């Protein structure tokens, strides 16, 4: 059950747990409203570092000291992580309150600060326990955030709503492959469309072939599960002067095809639908936030399996835009389905495109598991998306698309091939491959192979799908300006 957030003038008397910010050196912010035993905190080794949380004895119930670090270094992400630490510590309380807004510096937008608190608290309370015999969910039902003003109230509402979308993305990713097939993914899209008043189009396996979606149809050949092409459209009630397309890789399970992965390599391959999950989840909140922008979401969805009819290395496919692709590695399938998705986005006549995909292990090698790679063909649009990610608290890092590397995807028998030469620069040659399908439309590619899945419980993440990209996409849409 989602936490209900309210804005309060003071800590309610019935709050079971109260979280108060503490700066580095065990200094309390003005207005934090707590009489904490600082000597007790010192005995417990609490220093006020970001992410620290210690319960302090009090006659008014449980007070929880929340470290936020140096006063001049507090950001929205600091508050997001402090709220997460609070929820983890107050796991068994039904009601709670926090004075975290007192730690927000003067230069931090109050709406953004409140949004971060709601997001951190909500996401820390998440558990995927559908298949657990004895789940132990958080008991926290309500949280009062002490503060004042319409910006803070708006931020709490938006944060709670965005967090619901991230939870949806996590649920989609965490579902086993047998439970979240391409057809089930289309069912989820239908539920989102019905709830949010969006226009939905779903192409079945026959229509996919008829529409010339050769990349998607080709990858699907090895599976008994039929592929789906999902499109959701948000049209503002007052009309729109701008439009954006979101394209998400929807490989609901990736065995590698005939270029089969190792058993260990397949263990987490239900995560390969994370791009699709982020796109569908973002669409679940965009209509409620009502940006003045038309948004077209495209999800090519299929399994990648080594059945008797599967693609063979050396086969040639024809993508939607007419380019032919020599498939030399069937485990480089994500770019094949995205080729069709990006082509459709261009045909939709949008002003800009973002695609999200767990695309390459090479990006994980380069940036680790907490940072997404960002590539694109338009400096202004790259800057917009980078800034949106920074505001959303999701780490991305710009990577180049060197023209000198383009020759690595030249094919002997087709227009291009689906892998570059050798073991190096795999994330970049994959980006160069995708660029072939966007024409002159401003485009950004987010390789989320690393941060799409967490391998540990930390902050507001739990082991499993993270929902990475939802917050960035929502922020990019809400702040969208036509790239020039």
* Helix (H), strand (E), coil (C) string for the chain: CCCEEEEECCCCCCCCEEEEEEECCCECCCCCCCCCCHHHHHHCCCCCCCCCEEEECCCCCEEEEEEEECHHHCCHHHHHHHHHHHHHHCCCCCEEEECHHHHCCCCCCHHHHHHHHHHHHHHHCCCCCCCCCCCCCCCCCEEEEECCCHHHHHHHHHHHHHHHHHHHHHHHHHCCCCCCCHHHHHHHHHHHHHHHCCEEEEECHHHHHHCCCHHHHHHHCCCCCCCEEEEEEECCCCCCCCEEEEEECEEEEECCCCCCCCHHHHCCHHHHHHHHHHHHHHHHHHHHHCCCCEEEEEEEEEEECCCCCCCCCCEEEECCCCCEEEECCCCCCHHHHHHHHHHHHHHCCCCEEEEEECCCHHHHHHHCCCCEEEEECCHHHHHHHHHHHHHHCCCEEECCCCHHHHHHHCCCCCCEECCCCCCCCHHHHHHHHHHCCCCCCCEEEEECCCCCEECCCECCECCEECCCCHHHHHHHHHCCCCCC
Identify the active-site residue in 335, 417, 435, 453: 335
Is 294 a residue of the active site?
Answer: no
Decide if 369 is catalytic: no
Question: Which residue of the set 88, 127, 139, 261 is catalytic?
Answer: 261
**Catalytic sites, residue numbers:** 261, 335
């Amino acid at each position: 059950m989602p936490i209900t957030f309210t804005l309060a003038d003071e800590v309610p008397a019935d709050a079971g747990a109260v979280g108060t910010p503490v700066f580095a050196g065990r200094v309390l912010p003005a207005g934090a409203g707590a009489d904490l035993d600082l000597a007790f905190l010192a005995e417990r080794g609490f220093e006020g570092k970001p992410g620290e949380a210690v319960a302090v004895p009090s006659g008014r119930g449980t007070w929880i000291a929340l470290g936020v670090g140096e006063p001049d270094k507090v950001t929205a992400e600091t508050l997001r992580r402090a709220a997460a630490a609070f929820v983890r510590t107050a796991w068994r309380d039904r009601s709670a309150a926090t004075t975290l807004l007192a730690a927000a510096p003067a230069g931090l937008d109050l709406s953004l600060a409140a949004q971060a608190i709601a997001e951190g608290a909500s996401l820390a309370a998440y558990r995927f326990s559908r298949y657990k015999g004895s789940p132990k969910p958080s008991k926290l039902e309500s949280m009062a955030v002490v503060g004042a003003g319409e910006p803070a109230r708006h931020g709490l509402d938006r944060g709670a709503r965005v967090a619901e979308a991230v939870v949806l993305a996590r649920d989609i990713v965490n579902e086993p492959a047998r439970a979240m097939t391409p057809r089930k993914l289309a069912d989820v899209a239908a539920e989102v469309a019905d709830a949010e008043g969006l226009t939905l189009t779903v192409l079945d396996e026959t229509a996919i072939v008829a529409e010339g979606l050769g990349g998607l149809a080709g990858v699907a050949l090895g599976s008994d599960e039929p592929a789906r092409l999902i499109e959701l459209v948000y049209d503002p009630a007052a009309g729109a002067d701008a439009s954006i397309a979101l394209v998400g890789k929807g490989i609901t399970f990736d065995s590698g095809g005939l270029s089969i992965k190792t058993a260990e390599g397949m263990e987490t391959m239900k995560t390969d639908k994370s791009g699709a999950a982020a796109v569908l989840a973002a669409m679940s909140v965009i209509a409620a936030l009502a940006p003045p922008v038309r948004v077209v979401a495209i999800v090519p969805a299929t399994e990648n399996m080594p059945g008797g009819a599967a693609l063979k290395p050396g086969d040639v496919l024809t993508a939607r835009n007419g380019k032919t692709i020599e498939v030399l590695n069937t485990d480089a399938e994500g770019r094949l389905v995205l080729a069709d998705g990006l082509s459709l986005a261009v045909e939709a006549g949008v002003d800009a495109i973002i695609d999200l995909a767990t695309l390459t292990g090479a990006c994980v090698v380069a940036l680790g598991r907490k940072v997404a790679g960002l590539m694109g063909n338009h400096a202004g649009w790259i800057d917009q998306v980078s800034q949106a990610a920074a505001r959303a608290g999701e780490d991305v890092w710009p990577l180049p698309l060197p023209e000198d590397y383009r020759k690595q995807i030249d094919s002997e028998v087709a227009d291009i091939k689906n892998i570059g030469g050798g073991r190096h620069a795999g994330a970049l040659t994959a980006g160069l491959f995708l660029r072939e399908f966007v024409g002159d439309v401003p485009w950004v590619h987010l390789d989320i192979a690393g941060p799409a899945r967490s391998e540990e419980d930390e902050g507001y993440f739990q082991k499993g799908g993270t929902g990475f990209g939802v917050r960035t996409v929502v922020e990019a849409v809400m702040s969208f300006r036509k790239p020039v």
